[in-house]
Amino acid sequence: MFNLPITIQIRLWGGFLNRIITSSIFPFIVLYISDVFTIKFTGYFMMLIVIISFISDFISGYIIDIFSRKKTLLFSAYTESLTFFFLGVSYFFEKYIVFILLYILYTIVSSVRRLSLKVLVQDAVTKENKKKTYVLDYWLVNLSLSIGLILGGVFYNLDSLILFFLAAISTLILSVIYSIYIVDNRNLNMQFKERHVNIYNAYKNVFFNKVYIKLVIGISLIYLAELFIGSYKTINLKQNFEDIKINEMVINGVTVLIIIQLINTFGAIFFTLWLPQYLSKKINNMIQLKLGMLCYVIGYSLLIYSNDIIFIIMFAIIATVGEVLYAPIYNSEIIEHIPYSERGVYNSISSLGLTFSDLLAKSSIVLSTYFTVKEVSIALLFLLSVGAILLIKNIFKSEKKEVKEC
């Protein structure tokens, strides 16, 4: 799994370290702002961050296609390192307004850096190594999130200031590595620049690609399941789960939520190491995708409905297996639907779809006051099924059909 060209390895492991930094700092920042200001202010501020991230993703995709992808990555990565440093300084001197403004700046530059790195990975993969690349990427994503949460918890209890300076140093080192090893072979000719001088025209091309838009809608619906766990299911467990006492230990709704997250994270790490490789020798990608979608849709739909800990654990494992089977295939095949010269705007539309899913999942908390758990589970089953059908029907669309449409 690790036998990949050095250029791909650097980009994947760079993203791995970036995600560790992000997942270790973000929860602390929310807690810090809520301590300094009010819970209400924190809620509104986080909503503002989502909106800023939405706009930033939209503009970043356009910038990445117009300018050198390597230069865009380096500018955002070095700026991100400086932002972490000054976040630490403002935290130390208790300059709260400066801290908030710097966090907004971090949201913008991290969006550019994240999209740049994603596109550069897509530029480097080939048909021969794309599946192996995205199996490794998926494994690293889950591993980085678990490490980040652990580090964030440790340093939050010890000294939160260390987090910012470690993030600044780590990001600076990554930026230097990117400067040395990453190569951007794309030729930015004047014809391309003229074709994309208008941001409206750049994104119009994406929306005319019906197959890609169907895939974006499909994956956005699929991601609803995981986002529902962090929003609707959290409230549901807190209100409806009956505490279980084992000697002196009490398992409550919050404990069950942590168990679900641990199963998803460490289950993904464990199964990714062998399951996709084993099945690839037995079945083709289409069958693996269908099997993964079936496990994912059924697993998460029943997980949302169930409040029995045994069934919750069982359905969480089934859903995790489904995710392990479908995610690497989707990530490797989606590249075939993205024109080389327009990967920035295409990936930005994908990010916008996921942001919309996040907002929809958060709205489920309000909907929970009007609908029963059974009704919400049925609605989620329907949405996940639609998403799965869109992915299965469109992810392997042949190039012949695209040529015919043109």
> Which of 368, 19, 6 has the alpha carbon at shortest distance from 167?
19
Percent of the chain surpassing pLDDT 90: 33
SS3 113: helix
Domain boundaries, the chain: 1-188, 198-406
Whether 252 has a pLDDT exceeding 70, the answer reads yes
Q: Which of 90-99, 116-125, 183-192 has the lowest mean pLDDT?
A: 183-192
Whether 253 has a pLDDT exceeding 50, the answer reads yes
Whether 114 has a pLDDT exceeding 50, the answer reads yes
Whether 49 has a pLDDT exceeding 70, the answer reads yes
Residue 214 near residue 394 (C-beta atoms within 8 A): yes
Percent of the chain surpassing pLDDT 70: 92
User: Rounded to an integer, what is the distance from CA 244 to the centroid of its chain?
Assistant: 33
Mean pLDDT is highest, among 17-21, 345-349, 351-355, for: 345-349
> Which of 22, 166, 42, 171 has the alpha carbon at shortest distance from 107?
22
Q: Which of 49-58, 171-180, 181-190, 320-329 has the lowest mean pLDDT?
A: 181-190
Backbone angles phi, psi at 369, to 5 degrees: -80, -15
Q: Which of 104-113, 221-230, 281-290 has the lowest mean pLDDT?
A: 221-230
* More confidently predicted of 318 and 163: 318
Which superfamily does 198-406 belong to? Answer: MFS general substrate transporter like domains (1.20.1250.20)
> Which of 330, 335, 329, 299 has the alpha carbon at shortest distance from 315?
299
Could you tell me which residues come within 8 angstroms of residue 153 by beta carbon, excluding any fewer than 6 positions away? none
Whether 330 has a pLDDT exceeding 60, the answer reads yes
Whether 393 has a pLDDT exceeding 90, the answer reads yes
Check residue 193 and give its pLDDT: 52
Check residue 294 and give its pLDDT: 97
User: Rounded to an integer, what is the distance from CA 177 to the centroid of its chain?
Assistant: 23
Residue 341 near residue 213 (C-beta atoms within 8 A): no
Domains 1-188 and 198-406 share a fold: yes
| Per-residue pLDDT band at 237 (split at 50, 70, 90) | confident
Angle at 113 between CA 107 and CA 119, to 5 degrees: 135
* More confidently predicted of 99 and 151: 99
Check residue 191 and give its pLDDT: 45
Per residue in 197-227, pLDDT tens?
577 777 888 888 999 999 999 999 999 898 8
- CA end-to-end span of the chain: 37
Largest CA distance in the chain: 72
* Average pLDDT of every residue of the chain: 84
What CATH class does 1-188 carry? mainly alpha
341-377 burial, b if ≥16 CB within 10 A, otherwise e? ebbbbbbbbbbbbebbbbebbbebeeebeeeebeebb
Mean pLDDT is highest, among 19-23, 182-186, 280-284, for: 280-284
Going from the C-alpha of 334 to that of each of 32, 124, 127, 218, 343, the distances in angstroms are 38, 14, 12, 12, 11
| Per-residue pLDDT band at 157 (split at 50, 70, 90) | low
| Per-residue pLDDT band at 162 (split at 50, 70, 90) | confident
| Per-residue pLDDT band at 73 (split at 50, 70, 90) | very high
Residue 177 near residue 100 (C-beta atoms within 8 A): no
Whether 15 has a pLDDT exceeding 80, the answer reads yes
Check residue 102 and give its pLDDT: 95
